[in-house]
Amino acid sequence: MDWRRIIATAILAVSTAVSAPAQQNLCDSEASFGRSDGTVFGRYCGVCHTISGKWNRIVRAPLGGLFERKQLVTGQPVNEETVRELIAKGGPSMMPGFQYTLTAGQINELVQFLKAARCPEQAPGSQQGR
């Protein structure tokens, strides 16, 4: 498996807004590295990640459809608990842990956002969403 895909599978983020219009806006604005919006994802995660995978970031694979994947970069299965732990503790290579930056509530919001995060072209089951 492509290492970038593995890393991407590991990382996360996003904010509280999960409505379809909000996601459309987020995916449209991903070109704005580090300043994509006022969401937790935009502020803390968008530096390295995108939902769309459209831009040539540190992690190139998209985060859209994360929970449809089989495993994280850590080798663990993808579920709320493992994703929450990865955000808090960081990944095995480049991702730092956000346990001292984000509150438990913010991390939970990110997990919930990632469960739904998907760009319009990333229909469930599509290749790009994987």
Partner 1 sequence: MSFRFVAFVWWSSTTLLALPGFGAGTITGSVKDAGGTTLTGVFVSAQHTGATFTTTVYSDEAGRYRFPELTAGTYTVTAHAGGFQPVRRANVAVRDAALPMDFTLQAETRPEELLKQARASEWLSSLPGTDEQKMSLGKNCGSCHHNLYHLQTVRFTKEDWVKVISAMEKIDVIGEIREPRPAYYMPWRHGTKDQIAEFLAKVQGPDSPLPNVKFFPRASGKATQAVITEYRVPRSNAVPHDVQLDSQGNAWYNDFKTDYLGKINPKTGEIKEYRLPSKPGFHPGSSNMFVGDDDTIWVNQRIAGTLTRFDPKTEKVVGRWERVGGYDRFDSKSGIAYGTNGQLDVKTGMVTRYEYKADTDGYGTAVDSRGFAFRGGIADSDIKLLNPETGDVINLLTPTPDSGPRRIQLDGDAYLWFGEWFGGKIGRVDIRSRKITEYSPSVPFAAFYEAGTDPKNHHGWAFDWRSDRLMRVDPTTGVVTEYPMPTRDVESRRTAVDTSTNPPTVWIHGAGNGTIIRVQAPL
DSSP 8-class letter at 96: P
Residue for token pair 């996003």: 14
Question: Which ranges constitute the DSSP H helices of the chain?
Answer: 3-10, 20-28, 40, 80-89, 104-116
Binding span for partner 1 by CB under 8 A among 8-16, 25-33, 69-77, 118-126: 25-33
Residue 37 binds partner 1 (CB under 8 A): yes
Binding to partner 1 in span 78-107, by CB under 8 A: 90, 93-98, 100-101
Residue for token pair 């895909």: 5
Residue 48 binds partner 1 (CB under 8 A): yes
Residue 24 binds partner 1 (CB under 8 A): no
CA angle at 101 for the pair 38 and 59, rounded to the nearest 5°: 70
**Nearest CB to partner 1, comparing residues 67 and 90:** 90
Q: Which of 20, 34, 75, 121 binds partner 1 (CB under 8 A)?
A: 34
Among 15, 19, 27, CA closest to 129:
27
By CB under 8 A, name the binding residues for partner 1: 29, 31-38, 43-44, 46-48, 55-58, 60, 90, 93-98, 100-101
